[in-house]
Amino acid sequence: MFIYGNAEEEKAVDGLQQWFEENKKLPNKIDRTLLWRLYQRSSKDIEETKKLLELYYTLRLKNPKIFIKRDPSDVDTDNMYKYLHIAPLSQLTPESYHITCIHFHNLDTKMIHFTEDIKTYVMIGDCHFLQPDVILENNNGQLSKGEIIIIDMEGITMKHVAALSMGTLSVFFKYLYQAYPNRMQAVHMINCPSYINKILGFLRPFMSKELYEMIKCHTNGLESLYESIPREILPKEYGGNAATMAELSSEFRNKILEIKSLLMDPEYWTVQKS
């Protein structure tokens, strides 16, 4: 078990874990790192963490096709990887923000099964949230203080946007802004087409005002991205020193397969209390 705070904070998380296990609205178990992330997201306020925990699991239990009925080795997951690279980066920004990069390596819109693809994205996120961002000495761990998403829009058309499921999109945006185990900081869209405003206009009704205002579009190269994110921590395709998107995505796919049993364990994700 990793240690993320001082003795008083660890004791507070112990209390939260006991409250969680006794709460009949919640699953039987919760991973300690995930609990710590939600505690940190709530500014280490006990009562706010309890509210966030109930929201987090209520949203998931109401949308089992996205959050519960999943298998990292199934055909849905395999299909998403055939057209999409999703790469959580291992190095944090100077502000201790975590970055996830998304790249469409196959632009065939017939490959998009949006609800199933979001389910896989959530599994990747869950895998990341169940482990520390940085492993320190003496079993100490460091958690990121915010989340940044980078989406490569090269080749994306309105036909891709039309393949989205409005219901799933609405649920996902609500999860991202209200119940994500990390506080959203920014969404960077890079290699944006000239009609990016049309795409954003389509997405706008499904987003909160706050989430929409986090979107930053980069239309003329990546220099403007480097003003916010150190170039060297980015994947090779974007001028950084990290591995390629394909390599990073494949590496993380192996990680979700390694914890398949935990991702599918109903003790952690569904309510079974009598």
Q: Is the pLDDT of residue 237 over 90?
A: yes
* 231 confidence band (pLDDT: 50, 70, 90): very high
pLDDT at position 188 is 98
Q: What burial letters (b/e) apply to 177-203, b meaning 16+ CB within 10 Å?
A: bebbbbbbbbbbbbbbbeebeebbeeb
Give residue-wise pLDDT tens across range 6-49.
999 999 999 999 999 999 999 999 999 999 999 999 999 999 99
pLDDT band at 272 (very low <50, low <70, confident <90, very high): confident
Q: In this model, does residue 267 exceed pLDDT 80?
A: yes
> What is the separation of C-alpha 248 from the centre of its chain, rounded to a whole number of angstroms?
15
- The yes-or-no verdict on residue 73 having pLDDT over 90 is yes
The pLDDT value given to residue 66: 97
Phi/psi of residue 156, nearest 5 degrees: -75, 135
Whether 105 has a pLDDT exceeding 70, the answer reads yes
User: 91-103, pLDDT tens digit by residue?
Assistant: 999 999 999 999 9
pLDDT for the residue numbered 274:
62
pLDDT at position 1 is 82
pLDDT for 57 equals 97
Residue 273 clears pLDDT 70, i.e. is over it: no
